[in-house]
């Protein structure tokens, strides 16, 4: 299945049915009076977060979604049938954006969450509604209300607890493959990861979800490489894992490049709890490890962990540090939600 996380969709709710002009015509009933029924309601357009989806690829092949129009009213006081609603089924974590791609209409972060995007038009009144004591044979009826037509954008931001950051070939996919059942592509050339991958990682009887995104390079926020569009998938993460290639000859520059890119991206990524790891230490001797760790800690201003995704050295310690950050952040978020004022 191909991965797609941004798409443009055209929606239109159903128009209401027209009211009917009709009069009761039966034998031996001279003044039957008006009996025109009302038109039916047009269908609504809804969006719903469903289980079993992790991509928006279905919307590449169908971009237009139109709800059914209401049926017109009929004689004998018969109301027209309502139009059927239409539901856009999207993965959990999908944002609904207005046509300007900036205004957020809805953010579907929970399974089963459902939002009304376009309300169907009301049906028109038939001439029965206009009968009065002074106008007992009205010859007017209302047309149905027009449906709502709009253009929206769907943007998927994967739901994960930990997001992986690093330059291309920093070992992000190797880490995900070594700690979960995910099987991302691993190769010895840059940009082997072209779309995000998710994996469920377990440590000390606890599990959390890790998201691997394509590598960032200098100038990614300006569109270089694959750009920074995939950073949206780690916006919801409780913690970030910053992997640095220990075999790189520009260790400190590599670290600063990623920091500069997440600061330029914004969205609070630079403020998230971050675990910095010197990766690929299986290719370094003890003296090199100690020297590079000291240099990196001086640059970062906090502790740096050592790890090798290939040999497994240091993996458990890194996972435990991530689990601690995830647990602390989620508890803080839950406490904030509980203290928030209730809104009807």
pLDDT of residue 226: 59
Q: Is 173 annotated as a binding residue?
A: yes
Q: Is 344 annotated as a binding residue?
A: no
Q: Is 170 annotated as a binding residue?
A: yes
pLDDT of residue 344: 44
Q: Is 193 annotated as a binding residue?
A: yes
pLDDT of residue 230: 81
Report d(CA 99, CA 327) in Å as an integer: 37
Three-class SS of residue 275? strand
Report d(CA 172, CA 272) in Å as an integer: 18
Q: Is 262 annotated as a binding residue?
A: no
Report d(CA 18, CA 20) in Å as an integer: 6
Q: Is 166 annotated as a binding residue?
A: yes
Q: Is 27 annotated as a binding residue?
A: no
Backbone angles phi, psi at 220, to 5 degrees: -60, -35
Alpha helix locations (H) across the chain? 58-61, 172-179, 251-265, 286-300, 315-339
Encoded tokens for 318: 């890194």
Q: Is 72 annotated as a binding residue?
A: no
Q: Is 248 annotated as a binding residue?
A: no
Q: Which fold has domain 1-156?
A: Spo0b-associated Gtp-binding Protein; Chain: A, (2.70.210)
Q: pTM for the full model?
A: 0.81
Encoded tokens for 260: 């500069």
Q: Is 168 annotated as a binding residue?
A: yes
pLDDT of residue 192: 64
Residue whose token pair is 């100690």: 290
Q: Is 280 annotated as a binding residue?
A: yes
Domain residue extents for the chain: 1-156, 162-339
**Alpha-carbon distances of 295 from 30, 217, 278, 307, rounded to whole Å:** 102, 21, 11, 16
Q: Is 275 annotated as a binding residue?
A: no
Q: Is 310 annotated as a binding residue?
A: yes
Q: Is 172 annotated as a binding residue?
A: yes
Q: Is 259 annotated as a binding residue?
A: no
Query: How crowded is residue 245: how many other Cβ atoms within 10 Å of its Cβ?
Result: 19
pLDDT of residue 89: 96
Q: Is 204 annotated as a binding residue?
A: no
Q: Is 191 annotated as a binding residue?
A: yes
Q: Is 213 annotated as a binding residue?
A: yes
Q: Is 308 annotated as a binding residue?
A: yes
Q: Is 303 annotated as a binding residue?
A: no
Q: Is 167 annotated as a binding residue?
A: yes
Report d(CA 165, CA 247) in Å as an integer: 17
Report, at the CATH architecture level, how domain 162-339 is classified.
3-Layer(aba) Sandwich (3.40)
Given a contact cutoff of 8 angstroms between Cβ atoms, the answer to whether 113 and 102 are in contact is: no
Predicted confidence pLDDT, tens digits, the chain (344 residues): 467 889 999 999 999 999 999 999 888 888 889 999 999 999 999 999 999 888 898 999 999 999 999 999 999 999 999 999 999 999 999 999 999 988 999 999 999 999 999 999 999 999 999 999 999 999 999 999 999 999 999 999 888 899 999 988 888 888 998 998 877 767 665 666 667 888 889 888 889 999 888 888 777 766 665 557 788 888 889 999 999 998 888 889 999 999 998 998 888 888 999 999 999 999 889 999 999 999 999 998 899 999 998 888 999 999 999 999 999 988 888 887 776 554 44
Beta strands in the chain (DSSP E): 6-12, 45-50, 64-66, 86-91, 94-97, 104-108, 114-118, 149-156, 162-165, 197-203, 206-212, 239-245, 274-279, 305-306
**Alpha-carbon distances of 234 from 6, 63, 165, rounded to whole Å:** 15, 27, 9
Report d(CA 217, CA 295) in Å as an integer: 21
Residues with Cβ < 8 Å from 306, sequence gap 6 or more? 277, 278, 281, 289, 293, 313, 314
Q: Is 214 annotated as a binding residue?
A: yes
């Amino acid at each position: 299945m191909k991965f797609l996380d941004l798409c443009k969709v055209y929606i239109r709710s159903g128009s209401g049915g027209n009211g009917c002009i009709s009069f009761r015509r039966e034998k031996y009933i001279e003044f039957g009076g008006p009996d025109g029924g009302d038109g039916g309601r047009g269908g609504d357009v809804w969006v719903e977060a469903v289980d079993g989806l992790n991509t928006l690829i279905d919307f590449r092949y169908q971009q237009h979604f139109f709800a059914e129009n209401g049926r017109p009213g009929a004689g004998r006081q018969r109301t027209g049938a309502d139009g059927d609603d239409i539901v856009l089924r999207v993965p959990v974590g999908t944002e609904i954006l207005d046509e300007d791609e900036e205004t957020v209409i809805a953010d579907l972060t929970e399974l089963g969450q459902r939002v009304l995007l376009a309300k169907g038009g009301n049906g028109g009144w038939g001439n029965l509604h206009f009968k009065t004591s002074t106008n007992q044979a009205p010859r007017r009826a209302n047309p149905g209300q027009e449906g709502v037509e709009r253009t929206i954008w769907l943007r998927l931001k994967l739901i994960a607890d930990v997001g992986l950051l690093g330059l291309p070939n920093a070992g992000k996919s190797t880490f995900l493959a070594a700690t979960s059942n995910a099987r991302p592509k691993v190769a010895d050339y840059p940009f082997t990861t072209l779309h995000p991958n998710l994996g469920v990682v377990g440590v000390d009887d606890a599990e959390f979800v890790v998201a691997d995104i394509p590598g960032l390079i200098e100038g990614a926020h300006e569109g270089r490489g694959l750009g920074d569009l995939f950073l949206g998938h780690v916006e919801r993460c409780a913690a970030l894992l910053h992997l640095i290639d220990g075999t790189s000859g520009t260790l400190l520059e590599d670290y600063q490049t990623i920091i500069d890119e997440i600061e330029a991206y914004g969205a609070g990524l630079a403020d998230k709890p971050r675990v910095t790891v010197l990766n690929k230490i299986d290719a370094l001797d003890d003296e090199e490890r100690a020297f590079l760790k000291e240099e990196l800690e001086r640059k970062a201003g906090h502790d740096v962990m050592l790890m090798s995704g290939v040999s497994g050295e240091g993996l458990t310690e890194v996972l435990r540090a991530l689990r601690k950050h995830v647990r602390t952040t989620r508890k803080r978020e839950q406490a904030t939600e509980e203290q928030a004022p209730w809104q009807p």
